[in-house]
Structure formats: structure tokens, C-alpha cells
Amino acid sequence: MQRRQFLMGAAALSVLGASNVGSLAQTGGALEKTSLTLGVGGKPLLYYLPLTIAERRGFFKEEGLDVAVNDFGGGAKSLQALIGGSVDAVTGAYEHTIRMQVKGQDIRALCELGRFPAIVIAVRKELADKVKSPADFAGYKIGVTAPGSSTALTAQYAMVKAGLKANDAPLIGVGGGASAVAAVKQGQVDIISHLDPVIAKLESDGDIKVIIDTRTQEGTRALFGGSNPAAVLYVKKEFADENPNTSRALVRAFIKSLKWIHAASPDEIADTVPAEYLLGDRALYLQAVKNSMPTYSLDGVLTMEGMQSVLDTLKTLDPQFANADVDLAATFDGRFVQG
């Protein structure tokens, strides 16, 4: 019996050793932390497709990571969870790293997921004759994923650029997915600032008229005057410093995801995501994927031009940024994506 127990123990140690060697080979060192909690605000949205693909294709597990995903109502809520310590990392809008630096919180992007915002601003069809541009938004209810999120920021920026004040129209949090579609169809909001597949569904059903479209480079430049990075993977600086191998493994999983997305067909993507993400219409989801393909990062690296564009947007919107001393280089820790 003792010999049998010894052999079983030796076998278990052998398997454990092989697993650890795999982690060492992948990351250049043992993972400091293998179980992580990651926050996101609206996971079914194509804005966050790289996260879903990394999860569903097993890229996290390939890197030795067990990642639990907490889906919040919007990007601002996932940021709050990171600051509060209930999640280790977030996939969310890059602009949050700048906001937090001004507030004395050192939050750093580790990998770019979206190079264009992919946000569309549209008006309910029945109001299309009255609301033709952001200059007409005053007094109308604007549906966003959540107040404080990138969808809200984009709507407010469009208004300010058109000569209105950021608070001239109330922002209504409508979440992601079916709840956002319902908010438009039921007339709970007049204007929607949102993402695919929600926008694709509303367009297909003839419920909206698109006014601004940042799913393309042209549309992004028309609104922001240049490139404008969107979703990133971000963490607290202390997490990256204390867990460099884990951070590198996490980034590697997302880079694998980005490469897979760019090589995959819309059908392969639709087959990979949960069925409920298709909103009951596969053909529509396929079209939404095609619309969103140009938005995904090619290499995970944030450019200084893009970061400056986001800072300029915040300076236009928020007085606290007008004279703020922001070190953009400190908002992106590129050692993991480039190393």
C-alpha cells in the first residue's frame, strides 16, 4: 500500500511539474496568480468580443489562467469594481486610465483591444425629421450603456462639439443587449449611443436613423479628428508590478484572441459566442460582426496619437482636464504586449 501511494504521489507531482513547466515556457516565469476575476460592462457587445473569444476558445486556460468574468451594467461600474478591489482586471474604455490618473489612481492599459470606438449614435426613426445632428439633442433622452461609460462620453462629446453643453440632454442607462433594444422600441429613450449587435438589430428592424458611426476609421476621424482607441485591458499599476508573469499571460491570451478574430469568418465567430449573444437573429449578428471587424486592434499596441486624441476629447468635455498634467506614457504599460 505504501509503494502504491508513493507511486501515485510521484505521478501527481510529475503532472504538476509538467503543468508548471508549461506556464514557465509560456510566460518566462511561474505565474504569481492563476485565478483572476475580470470585470466588463456589457460582455455580449461586440466591443468586448476579444474577451468572449479568449474565454470560449480556451486562450486563458492555455496560458495557465482561471479567469472568472463579472459582467456589470456598464464600463463605469467595472471601473468602480477594480478601484474597490472586487476584480483584478477590467476590459473597458481606455479613457478610464486617463480619468483615474487625474484622480490620483494609477490605472494602466496593458493591451489595446479596439482601435476605433465602434460606437454609433442614432435617433428613433419617428424623430428623424426633428433630430438631424447632435446640435438637435437638447432635451431629448439619450440611451447609453451606463452614465460615465464610453457610450455616454461619446454622446456628450458630440453635443459639445456641436455647440451644446454636455448636460443639455439626460443620459439614461439602458445596459447592453436586449434591454437596450427594448428601451428604443418602447420609446424609453429618444436617441441611442450604443454598439453592435444592438445597433445592427435596431437598424435591421428600421427603428433608428444613424447620425454618427465610429465603427470605421472615417467615422472616427470625422468625430474625433483622429484615431481614438476604445476597449483595452487595464489593471492597477501595483497589480502589474506584483504579478508581471500573470499580466504577461493575460495579455498573451488577448493577443491570441485578436489574431483569431482577424483570421476567422463571421460564421466561426457566431459559432463561438453564446447563442443568446445573437439576439435571436444569426444573419443579423453576422452582419454586425462584419460591421465591427475594422475596429479590432491589429497588434494590441496603443499609439501616442490615439491616446492624445482621447485626452483631447476629455479636455473638451470636462473642465478638470483643461489644465491637468497628464502623463500619457504612464497610462499604457507596453512591456507585456511588446515583450
Domain with 99 in it: what CATH number?
3.40.190.10
In a domain, 92, yes or no: yes
In a domain, 17, yes or no: no
Domain match, 141 and 289 both? no
Domain match, 110 and 234 both? yes
Give the pLDDT of residue 128. Answer: 97
Domain match, 188 and 233 both? no
Domain match, 175 and 303 both? no
In a domain, 11, yes or no: no
Give the pLDDT of residue 338. Answer: 73
In a domain, 80, yes or no: yes
Domain match, 329 and 237 both? yes
In a domain, 19, yes or no: no
Domain match, 35 and 102 both? yes
Largest CA distance in the chain: 84
Domain match, 61 and 112 both? yes
Domain match, 151 and 289 both? no
Asked which of 213, 248, 282 is the last residue of a domain, the reply is 213
Domain match, 147 and 187 both? yes
In a domain, 14, yes or no: no
In a domain, 56, yes or no: yes
Asked which of 213, 247, 275 is the last residue of a domain, the reply is 213
Per-residue pLDDT of the chain in tens (339 residues, 90 and over written 9): 443 443 344 344 333 443 443 444 354 689 999 999 999 998 999 999 999 999 999 999 999 999 999 998 788 889 999 999 999 999 999 999 999 999 999 999 999 999 999 999 999 999 999 999 999 999 999 999 988 888 998 999 999 999 999 999 999 999 888 899 999 999 999 999 999 999 999 999 999 999 999 998 899 999 998 888 989 999 999 999 999 999 999 999 999 999 999 999 999 999 999 999 998 899 999 999 999 999 999 999 999 999 999 999 888 888 888 888 899 999 999 999 975
* Reported pTM: 0.82
Domain match, 103 and 139 both? no
Domain match, 99 and 145 both? no
Total structural domains within the chain: 2
Domain containing 186 equals 120-213
In a domain, 106, yes or no: yes
Asked which of 170, 189, 213 is the last residue of a domain, the reply is 213
Domain match, 130 and 208 both? yes
